[in-house]
Amino acid sequence: MTSVCLGLDVGRRRIGVALSDPEGLLAVPLTTVLRSDTESALQEISDLVGRHNVGCIVVGLPSLLSGEAGEEVQKVNEFVAAMQERIQLPVEYWDERLSTVAAEKMLRERGAKRETRDARRDSLAAALILQGYLDSKKVSQP
């Protein structure tokens, strides 16, 4: 992998965003996009793609704990379909079950205050999703 990947944790109100390094080794939280409306969120993500020379997008898929697709999966798929009309890049899905819970736990363990946790949780969850994807690619390569 020799291009930057963008990781997205798509929620109803916010979208956590993370970036990989060009070698595809490390994911870091970048920002949180407020989702007041889909069009403005798509524009902000498109701007980030251009600014960071992104070559692929990894989207967390919020399956139920049972592994079945719930209502949230449909909403994420609708958002991704709209995003792909605007941004012509490969999109990979990655299981995001419990990524937000893990991000919240990490922030609490580091002593982050509630206001800080709320602002950073979604981008950290996106980084966890993206890191899982990147790690899977390292394992599958010879």
Domain boundaries, the chain: 4-140
120 contacts 106 by C-beta, under 8 angstroms: no
Q: Give the range among 51-60, 69-78, 96-105 with minimum mean pLDDT.
A: 96-105
| CATH architecture of the domain formed by 4-140 | 2-Layer Sandwich (3.30)
Q: Give the range among 24-38, 62-76, 103-117 with minimum mean pLDDT.
A: 103-117
pLDDT of 99 over the 70 cut: no
pLDDT of 1 over the 60 cut: no
Q: 4 pairs with which residues across the strands?
A: 54
Over residues 17-28, the mean pLDDT reads 95
What length is written for the chain? 142
Determine which helix (DSSP H) or strand (DSSP E) holds 28, and give its type and residue range: strand 27-34
What pLDDT score does 3 carry?
A: 85
pLDDT of 15 over the 60 cut: yes
130 contacts 20 by C-beta, under 8 angstroms: yes
Q: Coil, helix or strand for 94?
A: strand
What pLDDT score does 125 carry?
A: 87
